[in-house]
Amino acid sequence: GNSVTQMEGPVTLSEEAFLTINCTYTATGYPSLFWYVQYPGEGLQLLLKATKADDKGSNKGFEATYRKETTSFHLEKGSVQVSDSAVYFCALSDPTTDSWGKFQFGAGTQVVVTP
């Protein structure tokens, strides 16, 4: 079956530091890949997505590239702010099957940015 593995947290960074959160996946088909962000006490919000190999998703200074050869979708940001403190989830869905709406999530990575 499909699965997502992401690095454990918490990740603690100083403001303006570089952030990388690793995400790898296992899928039988051709999944779409997503990064969601969860701020304290809130639901999940879509941060970015990529639907095919070599696509780069980007939003709010975050980027992730769909790497089929390494089955990875690592999240990066060049200069984090305190407001980026949140839990980040990597997720996939497989639009090539009848399960296109079913998402597989990673365990989540908490990011703490200090001033």
Partner 1 sequence: NAGVTQTPKFQVLKTGQSMTLQCAQDMNHEYMSWYRQDPGMGLRLIHYSVGAGITDQGEVPNGYNVSRSTTEDFPLRLLSAAPSQTSVYFCASSYGRPPKNTEAFFGQGTRLTVV
Residue 39 in the binding site for partner 1 (CB under 8 A): no
Task: Choose between 16 and 54: whose C-beta lies nearer to partner 1.
Answer: 54
Q: Which residues are registered as beta bridge partners of 77? A: 19, 62
For the chain, state the CA radius of gyration. Answer: 14
- Cβ at position 108, least distance to partner 1 in Å: 5
Residue 62 in the binding site for partner 1 (CB under 8 A): no
Instruction: Considering only the stretches 18-26, 59-67, 68-76, 93-101, report the one whose residues sit in contact with partner 1 under the rule CB under 8 A.
Output: 93-101
> Is the Cα torsion angle 12, 16, 18, 24 positive or negative in sign?
positive
Residue 100 in the binding site for partner 1 (CB under 8 A): yes
Centroid of chain to Cα 20 = 10
